Chain A
């Protein structure tokens, strides 16, 4: 049932790259998230303004926070995969 062998996770030459990239992406998302909180505190009335296709800013921003999280996650995974392949000579870390 979709089991796979456990791999020894020792030295990973791409880990510092992934850590830095993850940190930047985390910071970007944190700012986006903080923006949502800030608008609610500074100008809550703005949240009820129609923003897109009849939906107000609160709904669009809320859905946006969910969608952006997924987009960022996919970008991060793609970048990590490429780096892992590039440095595969050092240690194979690719997932089947």
Chain B
């Protein structure tokens, strides 16, 4: 374990816990615990919004996805930021005016409906839990390189710290943890991008001299049907595997195994074999990584480099320092080629093998949508892309842990101003994500087995200090967001369900106690989920949380504000239809089928992002049910708007 990362980590955790204990006395009332007394300054709240929102998904997931799939990862940045427009122009001020502690308060402001209290509380819990999973996975991902501890330790550590933060001072400590984290994340991400542009681009990145560039071998071979013969006779073919369109060849040399991927040659019979990386899991549980036992130092190499930079190769391609615009222009040039990586899993006898292999991707393709989301694909693939963009746009303004931050400021105008501060901070950070992701992709720092660590690993290539501070910040990122989510979930349980729905008539003091107990339980659940979902790309999971939020909550909020005939029954039905349809479509989607271990092609739903179906369905439901339900206190929209 390196000392600097450890000391910075301890410093951040100590700071966070110190803040929590300092503010503990302010959280003795329900207003103090759930809404920081409604007295937070709009600027602090705006940066805290950024700290709340810029989660592990934004920092780790987006950068990781850009590092491996190019511009497609940046689509998340665009969509996440665009969602704040909906928050600012549609929900910010009404939400502050109508609510007290939770999103349910606002929805139920004019109805006092048990159905709304139950439905909104359940949707808050579902969305918060969905959102918690990637944050906890991110914590586990961070702890391995930072402190050298296993994934589950990171998850448990975050769970315990967050439970302490929330249980001591509720929304007040959460606000200042998020404020500090949001502020420092933007500052140090800017520093990282500055260093990255200063280093420029090269075809042989060596992490500033720390890790020599590894040149993957390419070998001539001949092919006849299933038979492959390498030109170098010292290699013997041990196995040939055809997986989808790719052929993998296992070669043995002096008792050491290696896997190679077939590449076309000049004629059909004359091919090339390109060296790949691999992990082979033996039947006895031992692992061979790149030819060496994991216990004897076998490990995967970090990857990612440009093969051609704006038409130039080798030493003459080195650019030296570049401006940010030049950096992106060079990478996205039609004459640039980037070595990207993908993987394939199969069985070789009793071994379970996973091969990681590179392929050349043109710069112009990498720097536009299409690598992951098939905008040039079939109808369903295009629909998937539209569905994702729709969910991201409408999801932000429907996230319970974001909405409750509107209750921490003194007035609707302060809610508006804090949203604008959030847009500025978050927007700037999202611009940086493109640089950090592309930087990781081209600086030879990507971990092929888990792209979530791309941004911190990029920082490590500039020295231990930057890595330590970026990693500690990333950890604080998880703490800030998880705290917000647990506050939202505990409010849903203690305030919405226990106090209002079950009519338990809790005193102010017991409402705080119930909130703290709920935070403890939700924290424990989050720990379990974080361990179970290890290995999933965190941004991808958050995309689903957005889809569920956009489907379950946003139609109810918008119709309540803009349609006078909206009824309580309509809101309840809309929340349930939105939640169930979004969850159902996700469970039956190709991506989930892949997770279950089934063939994704057999999934009954041909797309993975449910928003395109579930959001309109939720809107239609609220209209139909409101029109046909018995008259239940129709809402005057001008009354809701405060006019």
Contacts and interface: CB of A to CB of B under 8 A. Distances in A.
Contacts of B330: 54
Interface of A: 1-7, 9-13, 15-16, 18-19, 22-23, 25-26, 29-30, 33, 36-37, 40-41, 44, 47-48, 50, 53-59, 62-63, 65-67, 69-70, 72-74, 76-77, 80-81, 84, 93-95
Contacts of B333: 54
B93 interface: yes
Contacts, number: 181
B10 interface: no
Nearest to A53: B325
Interface stretch (B260-268, B361-369, B515-523, B540-548): B361-369
A26 B434 contact: no
A66 B325 contact: no
A18 B89 CA distance: 8
A69 B224 CA distance: 58
Interface of B: 37-44, 71, 74, 77-78, 81-82, 84-86, 88-90, 93-94, 96-97, 176, 325-326, 328-330, 332-334, 364-365, 367-370, 375-376, 382, 385-386, 389, 393, 410-414, 416-417, 419-420, 423-424, 427, 430-431, 434, 561-562, 638, 641-643
Contact of B41 (A2, A11, A13, A15): A2
B96 A9 contact: yes
A76 B86 CA distance: 13
A40 B413 CA distance: 37
6 contacts: A2-B44, A15-B643, A25-B85, A37-B389, A93-B413, A95-B411
Contact of B424 (A9, A53, A57, A70): A70
A1 B368 contact: no
Contacts of B420: 70, 73-74, 76-77
A2 B375 CA distance: 47
Given A36-B78, A84-B413, A44 B375 contact: yes
A33 B85 CA distance: 11
A23 B40 CA distance: 27
Contact of A73 (B88, B326, B364): B88
Contact of B40 (A3, A16, A26, A47): A3
Given A12-B641, A44-B370, A59-B434, 6 more contacts: A3-B41, A25-B85, A26-B89, A69-B84, A70-B423, A73-B424
A56 B362 CA distance: 14
B222 to A, nearest CB: 37
